Amino acid sequence: MPFDQIRGVNTHQELWAIEQIKRSELIRYWMDRGVRFSSAQTVHMDLNITIGSGTFIGSSVHLLSGTRIGTECTIHPFTIIDNSSIGDAATVHPHSVIRNATIGAHSNVGPFAHIQEESTIGNNCSIGNFVETKRVSIGDNTKAKHLSYLGDAQIGSNVNIGAGTITCNYDGTKKHITHIKDNVFI
């Protein structure tokens, strides 16, 4: 049995050494399956994730527990993806945070997007700079390119959300669902 598999951990330095060994094993595992890394030594990934072949992972990306990334995706630097699903051929631009959400195939997210819990982004969508979503469902081919908050909403397909749009649906007592139908331009 190799020494690295039976090491004891009694100090922070020993813990750091073990983490580096395990991180190297994980990186090699995913490289063997067709995943490319920009700066592999800077990537943090938990054990229970999946990454499809042909995917590129940028530097300082964090892939946290339960994350599933499809094939041919691009995950740009300084992105955090936590317990989320990224569809095939999707691109997540730098400094985006995706938590407990689903991103459809061929969609673009970010930079600086914040996709929060219970958000479902359809296929071929564009969720751009400084767009935040929370408990929202967005249909296919919809765009929200910049500076918007979309929360507690159901947004249809082929919708264009203009800059500065905010779904305001709290009446002081409870939140209501905002409905935006297909083919709407806001």
CB 53 within 8 A of CB 35: yes
CA-nearest of 95, 86, 136 to 116 is 136
CB 46 within 8 A of CB 63: yes
Determine the Cα–Cα distance for residues 34 and 141; give it in Å rounded to an integer.
Answer: 29
Pick the catalytic residue: 76, 93, 114, 146?
A: 146
Determine the Cα–Cα distance for residues 64 and 50; give it in Å rounded to an integer.
Answer: 10
| Torsional sign, CA 21, 27, 31, 32 | positive
DSSP string, 91-127: EE-TT-EEESEEE-TT-EE-SS-EE-TTEEE-TT-EE
Determine the Cα–Cα distance for residues 15 and 157; give it in Å rounded to an integer.
Answer: 49
Radius of gyration of the chain (CA): 19
Residue 179 is among the residues annotated as catalytic for this protein: no
Q: Which residues are catalytic?
A: 146
